[in-house]
Amino acid sequence: MIIKSIKMALKAITSSKMRSFLTMLGVIIGVTALVVLVSLVTSATKAVTDEVASMGKDMLSVSIADNKGKPLKIEDLKEIAKDRSIDLISPKLTSVAEHKMRNGIKSSDVTRIGTNGSHFIIEGYTLASGRLLKHADLDNNSYVSVLSNDIAISLFGSTDIIGRDVVLDGVKYQVVGVLNTPKGLMAETNRNNIYIPFTVAQRLQTDASTGNGIREFLLTAKGADNVSRAEQVVKEALKARFGDDPEAFHVYNQNEMAKSIDEIYKVFALLLGGIAAISLLVGGIGIMNIMLVSVTERTKEIGIRKALGAKSSSILVQFIVEALVLCLIGCAMGIAVSAGILAIVNGVSSGAAAASAAKMTFSMSGTVILVAVLFSTVIGLVFGLYPARKAAKMHPIDALRFE
């Protein structure tokens, strides 16, 4: 009976193609919105969490909000680094104010970062030419610099510029190294950086609120198994210095960051999915409306079938199946449209990635497709039930007399 009902449903749908398409349009739009939005968020979540993981599961980032008049020194970091759980440690002083760097002819806006040689290893940077910063550069307050790849190309047209000079805010620095362009989504944030010895950056810092202390530093544990111990060592050392004030400093664990990002994106996906589901509900109302019209138009057909012995259950199944088929065809078309949209987005993303070295791939997961199919099925059943019951309850005599 189900197969026969499906055939009858397909015949009824194809007999008025334009009306059927317009009826399914709400479902098509709803499914497309649901699949595309959730797929975009899911793919973005995976890309970001993978990017955070690629930066090192053994990395910790520490920021100090209030040093309580006891500024942290490089010697203090060296003391913390003596613990067996800690591998590398690096101070970081970022100046995001507008800085102009020149090579005598060309100029470029840059971000100045004061740090040491361990910073590049922690962040996973590699050298295109030259060397990294050395301890001697910090001890001697040497005016040397390591440039990001884009800055070197922008100013000199080459990465083979070791020994050349650049002028930043009126101060001359000798270029001792040039970095390769980093890969991944975070590449954009590291395009216009100049790295100088931390001690030099401290002397140049004009923001009195930072004092002379370290406000930010990075460190890596000796393997992922030691991350928890390294985090505890840092917290205990800073608590001993600044007191038991939870707002004085913050320690960011890469694993915890990845989990937090994942949770945020899951909530975001649910919200967007809920908004898209409203479109499906609207599509379901459209299907119920057209099914009521169909019941009215086929009243005599229903009367004849009942007069010939058709049961009310057969009429009920026929119209429910028809509503269900409408929904599922609309769902299939919505999934096809979603695949096309995601293919276009991937094409645009690939074009942007060629220029930025960052690539994000958007794809539909089986879970999203299954949710779309199940939701469409429920919509078909729920919104097809009332018209189907109305048809099933018709009295054959009244149906045959209907004009």
User: Could you tell me which residue, 63 or 302, shows the higher pLDDT?
Assistant: 63
pLDDT for residue 54:
61
Whether residues 379 and 241 share a domain: the answer is no
Q: Kind and range of the H or E element at 96?
A: strand 93-102
* Gyration radius of the chain's alpha carbons: 33
Confidence of residue 145 (pLDDT cuts 50, 70, 90): very high
- Which pLDDT score is estimated for 216? 92
Domain shared by 107 and 230, yes or no: yes
Whole-number average pLDDT of the chain: 83
| 184 inside domain | yes
Last residue of one domain, picked from the residues 201, 223, 247? 247
Q: pTM (2 decimals)?
A: 0.64
Query: 97 and 162: one domain?
Result: yes
* Nearest-10 crossing angle of helices 2-15, 17-54: 110
Strand boundaries in 157-257, DSSP class E: 165-168, 171-179, 193-197, 216-221, 249-253
Taking CA atoms, 402 is separated from 289, 301, 318, 330, in Å, by 20, 10, 20, 32
Half-sphere exposure of 203 (CA within 13 A, CB side): 12
Same domain, 319 and 225: no
104 pLDDT band, cuts 50/70/90, is confident
pLDDT tens per residue across span 193-216: 899 999 999 888 755 444 568 999
Distance from C-alpha of 145 to C-alpha of 220, rounded to nearest angstrom: 23
Q: What is the number of structural domains in the chain?
A: 2
- Structural domain includes residue 253: no
257 pLDDT above the threshold of 80:
no
229 and 88 within one domain: yes
Task: Please say which residue of 201, 218, 247 terminates a domain.
Answer: 247
99 with 240, same domain: the answer is: yes
pLDDT at 127: 92
274 vs 186: which has the higher pLDDT? 274
Mean pLDDT of 269-283: 81
Asked if 390 and 292 sit in the same domain, the reply is: yes
Asked if residue 59 belongs to a domain, the reply is no
Q: What percent of the chain has pLDDT over 70?
A: 87
- Determine the structural domain holding residue 376 and report its residue range: 2-53+259-401
Give the end of a domain, one of 247, 278, 302. Answer: 247
Question: What b/e string do you get for 1-24 counting C-beta neighbours within 10 Å, with b at 16 or more?
Answer: eeeebeeebeebbeeeeeebeebb
Token output for 112: 């100045």
> Does a structural domain hold residue 61?
no
Q: Are residues 362 and 335 in the same domain?
A: yes
Same domain, 21 and 91: no
* pLDDT tens-digit series, residues 323-346: 899 999 999 999 999 999 988 888
Say what the pLDDT of residue 164 is.
Answer: 92
pLDDT for position 280: 81
27 beta partners = none
Do both 91 and 201 map to the same domain? yes
**What confidence tens digit (pLDDT) does each residue in 349-365 have?**
665 554 444 456 788 88
88 band by pLDDT with thresholds 50, 70 and 90: very high
Q: How far is CA 399 from CA 12, 322, 403, in A?
A: 19, 20, 9
Looking from the CA of 150 toward its CB, the CA atoms found within 13 Å total 17
Same domain for 229 and 94: yes
Residue 60 resides in a domain: no
The predicted-structure confidence for 218-232, as pLDDT tens digits, reads as follows 999 988 788 889 999
Task: Look at residue 146 in the predicted model and tell me its pLDDT.
Answer: 95
Q: How many CA atoms lie within 13 A of 37 on its CB side?
A: 20
- Point out which residues pair with 101 in neighbouring strands: 108, 168
Position 272 in a domain: yes
Q: Is the pLDDT of residue 400 over 80?
A: no
Is it the case that residue 249 has pLDDT exceeding 80?
A: yes
Residue 177: phi, psi to the nearest 5? -160, 155
Q: Are residues 144 and 240 in the same domain?
A: yes
Amino acid at 21: F
